[in-house]
Structure 1
Amino acid sequence: MKSDFPRILTLLRKEKGISQKQAASDLGISQALLSHYEKGIRECGLNFVVNAAEYYGVSCDYLLGRSPDRTGAVLSVDDIPEPDAAGKENVFHGSLLPTLNKKLIANSLNILFDMLQEVGSRELTTEVSDYLMAAVYKMFRELYSAHPKNPEGLFAAGTPVFRALASASMEISEMKVHCIAHGIDTEGITPLESVEALETSPEKLSNKYPLFASSLSNLIKSVETRMGVRRK
């Protein structure tokens, strides 16, 4: 059985806010046996998977780690909400700083991914995306782990090692992006045959992305200021 199963089984119980003893009783097994399931010491049968999925209100695929969606659905592009979709999840209260920075980053990403679309390299898009997702993962986890009551079962990587693993993953992706974009022929990497699609300038960016170019310009300035670099 997948190693994700014990972690997800434990996480669901903790999210439900019940003890192991209570969950075992509700599921009709001993606490000792449930403890073995949650620790991955023993494998359970199909009946338990079905009963546990029904008990926690998730699909068997989610419980087994086969789907990131609790209903077991497979996400398509149309299923993912737009970054600026209306609703309470997109509303910031209080300081304007989170809203401002979110817009600078989101608008700059629009330009970045449009450039990737024009290049048409699946490998390059994958590596850029992996780098950015790892960065978001690291920052989310730092905030998430700040509260001691938040269940660590949400993550598979342990607390002592996740920073190093995520940073290593980002460095590998950054190296691959450099090799692909700069035509460095390295084993396992297919460099771009042409970089013509990447030709641009501040003027071209402003003309092509009139709504987003200023955000990218401000993001660049902000990052370089934090780096201690100032324009001459």
Structure 2
Amino acid sequence: MSSEFSRTLSLLRQEKGVSQRLAAGELGISQALLSHYENGIREPGLRFVVRACDYYGVSADFILGRTLSREGNMLTEQDILDAAEPRSSLRGSVLATLQSKLLSGAVGVLFELLGKLGDKAVINAAAAYLGSAVYHLYRHLYRASGANEGYFALDSATCVLGLADADRKLSEARYAAALRDLRTQKAEFPDLSSPAINAAYPGRCQSLTQVLSTADARLAALSKQPEK
């Protein structure tokens, strides 16, 4: 069973605002057994998963961490934006956990596809691009928390000048150049058609599709905004 199940099960109970004891009673199991399920010590049977879905009002895909939609459907760009609203059914730790699952699944598929090319330059450039993005976001969080930025080698004054942005653009340029070189060398690229991706990554293809769909819709909307 998905390793995300236990974490999502616990987060849903906390979101519902009920104790482990109460939830266990309403789910028809002992508190000790529910604790084991929430901590990933034991795996439940299908019957319990169905009961948990009914109890928390979510789909099996949602409770298994396979989708951000409680109904198990692919989300639209507006759904993602709505998830940030205070009254959204996706909020706080549940939203953070599922967004993390979504991105990690998509990135995993991407790197497995890149691995099929067998080219270090492509893989290293992609890793540098994503690593710089994580670094930049973490530095913002670190700064906002009031922590001492002396922990980092890059001083805060230089960091805010856009060095991370420049590093990502350079990594992207190296990534694109390495891919062009492979194309020139007539390297064999993996099949990226939807049927092939679905067949190769049945558990994670939805993560990749969702990330691509959401970003594509957001960028398309930005491209259509009138100039001021």
State the shift of 1:195 in Å. Answer: 3.8
| Structure 1 residue identity aligned to 2:159 | F
Aligned residue number for residue 210 of structure 1: 202
Question: What are the superposed Cα offsets for residues 26-50 of structure 1, whole Å, 9 maximum, x if unpaired?
Answer: xxxxxxxxxxxxxxxxxxxxxxxxx
Change over 3 Å in CA distance of 1:85–1:122 after alignment to 2 = farther
Aligned residue number for residue 170 of structure 1: 168
State the shift of 1:177 in Å. Answer: 0.7
Change over 3 Å in CA distance of 1:87–1:214 after alignment to 2 = closer
Distance 1:87 1:210 in 2: 21
Larger Rg: 1
Aligned residue number for residue 128 of structure 1: 126
State the shift of 1:229 in Å. Answer: 4.2
Alignment of 1:193 onto 2:190 = no
Distance 2:183 2:212 in 1: 26
Q: Matched residue of 1:145: which SS?
A: helix
State the shift of 1:180 in Å. Answer: 0.9
State the shift of 1:194 in Å. Answer: 3.2
Aligned residue number for residue 89 of structure 2: none
Aligned residue number for residue 98 of structure 1: 96
Aligned runs of 1:1-232 on 2, under 5 Å?
95=92, 96-148=94-146, 150-163=147-160, 164-183=162-181, 193-229=185-221
Greater RCO (CA < 8 Å, at least 6 residues apart): 2
Question: What are the superposed Cα offsets for residues 69-122 of structure 1, whole Å, 9 maximum, x if unpaired?
Answer: xxxxxxxxxxxxxxx79999xx97762211111111000111111012111111
CA RMSD of aligned residues (A): 2.8
State the shift of 1:193 in Å. Answer: 2.5
Aligned residue number for residue 78 of structure 1: none
Change over 3 Å in CA distance of 1:229–1:182 after alignment to 2 = farther
CA contact (8 A) 1:135 1:170 kept: yes
CA contact (8 A) 2:133 2:168 kept: yes
Q: TM-score, normalised by structure 2?
A: 0.54
Distance 1:192 1:113 in 2: 21
Distance 2:122 2:167 in 1: 15
CA contact (8 A) 1:179 1:191 kept: no
Distance 2:211 2:154 in 1: 31
Distance 1:107 1:214 in 2: 9
5+ unaligned residues in a row in structure 1: which ranges?
1-83, 184-189
Q: Matched residue of 2:132: which SS?
A: helix
Q: Which has the higher helix share?
A: 2
| Structure 1 residue identity aligned to 2:157 | P
CA contact (8 A) 1:131 1:169 kept: yes
5+ unaligned residues in a row in structure 2: which ranges?
16-91, 223-228
CA contact (8 A) 2:191 2:197 kept: no
Q: Matched residue of 1:200: which SS?
A: coil
Aligned residues: 138
Distance 1:160 1:168 in 2: 15
Distance 1:125 1:141 in 2: 24
Q: TM-score, normalised by structure 1?
A: 0.53
CA contact (8 A) 1:180 1:192 kept: no
Q: Matched residue of 1:161: which SS?
A: helix
State the shift of 1:198 in Å. Answer: 3.0
State the shift of 1:158 in Å. Answer: 1.5
Distance 1:161 1:112 in 2: 31
| Structure 1 residue identity aligned to 2:154 | A
Q: What is the aligned-residue identity percentage?
A: 25
Question: Hey, which bits of structure 1, 4+ residues long, moved more than 3 A?
Answer: 84-88, 91-94
CA contact (8 A) 2:126 2:171 kept: yes
